[in-house]
């Protein structure tokens, strides 16, 4: 599976690194694309170096668009028309679209979650008008996967693997990192 992960200043570093790590452990191609620059300063000051600038990434070449949360990064990504276009393209073509924490705000801004079951950080629940907010660690609605926050990031990334036919990799990675899977996800 080829995954594209857009990042911007203010993203949540734990979510970002956990997602990248687990998807790369599974052997897939993971491209981290930085909005504006390849050097990103995350929400707690951690520096993350993206593989390439966002505008040099071609979303049509990827099977999954996986968006980390973090209020500052989400604000910047949601304000970028090419990010919203990519979200709509993934939604229209049925490719995997995944968002954690505050990142469902980007899906909302792109107009792709009306009537869908969505997990998100409690602080943004009221901002997702038209979506059905579900307070579960990870929620899957068709090809859209959402999760609540940093504490659910491992299960979120493992669920992405499950949904892309990599169940054995997800099980092996969970075992290797001593993660107990949520039975209801």
The CATH number linked to 164 is: 3.40.50.880
pLDDT given for residue 92 in this prediction: 98
Determine the average pLDDT of the residues in 102-116.
99
Q: What tokens were used for 135?
A: 């307070």
Cβ neighbourhood burial of 150 (10 Å; 0-12, 13-18, 19+): buried
The 3-state DSSP class for residue 98 equals: strand
Given a cut of 90, whether residue 51 has pLDDT beyond it is yes
The yes-or-no answer on residue 101 being catalytic is yes
Please state the pTM of the whole predicted model.
Answer: 0.96
Whether residue 129 is contained in a domain is answered as yes
Whether residue 182 is contained in a domain is answered as no
Give the total number of structural domains in the chain: 1
Q: What tokens were used for 38?
A: 């390849």
CA dist 40 and 12 (Å) reads 11
Tens of pLDDT, residue by residue over 133-185, are 999 999 999 999 999 999 999 999 999 999 999 999 999 999 999 999 876 55
Whether residue 183 is contained in a domain is answered as no
**Can you spell out the DSSP letters for 115-128?**
T-EE---GGGGGG-
Confidence of residue 63 (pLDDT cuts 50, 70, 90): very high
pLDDT given for residue 43 in this prediction: 98
What average pLDDT does the structure give for the chain? 97
> Which H or E run includes 66?
strand 64-67
The single residue of 61, 101, 120, 185 carrying the catalytic annotation is 101
Confidence of residue 100 (pLDDT cuts 50, 70, 90): very high
Query: Alpha helices of the chain — where are they, by DSSP H?
Result: 13-25, 71-78, 81-93, 104-109, 153-163, 167-176
CA dist 81 and 114 (Å) reads 19
pLDDT given for residue 37 in this prediction: 87
Give the structural domain span for 40: 2-176
Whether residue 184 is contained in a domain is answered as no
pLDDT given for residue 181 in this prediction: 87
């Amino acid at each position: 599976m080829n995954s594209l992960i857009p990042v911007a200043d203010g993203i949540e570093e734990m979510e970002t690194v956990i997602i990248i790590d687990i998807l790369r452990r599974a052997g897939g191609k993971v491209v981290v694309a930085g909005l504006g620059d390849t050097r990103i300063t995350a929400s707690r000051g951690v520096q993350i170096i993206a593989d390439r600038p966002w505008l040099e990434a071609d979303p049509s070449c990827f099977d999954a668009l996986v968006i980390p949360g973090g209020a500052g990064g989400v604000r910047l990504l949601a304000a970028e028309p090419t990010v919203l276009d990519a979200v709509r393209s993934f939604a229209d073509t049925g490719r995997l679209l995944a968002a954690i924490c505050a990142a469902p705000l980007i899906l909302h801004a792109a107009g792709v979650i009306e009537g869908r079951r969505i997990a998100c950080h409690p602080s943004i629940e009221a901002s997702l008008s038209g979506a059905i907010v579900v307070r579960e660690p990870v929620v899957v609605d068709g090809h859209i996967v959402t999760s609540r926050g940093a504490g659910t990031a491992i299960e979120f990334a493992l669920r992405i693997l499950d949904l892309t036919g990599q169940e054995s990799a997800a099980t092996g990675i969970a075992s290797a990192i001593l993660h107990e899977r949520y039975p209801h996800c």
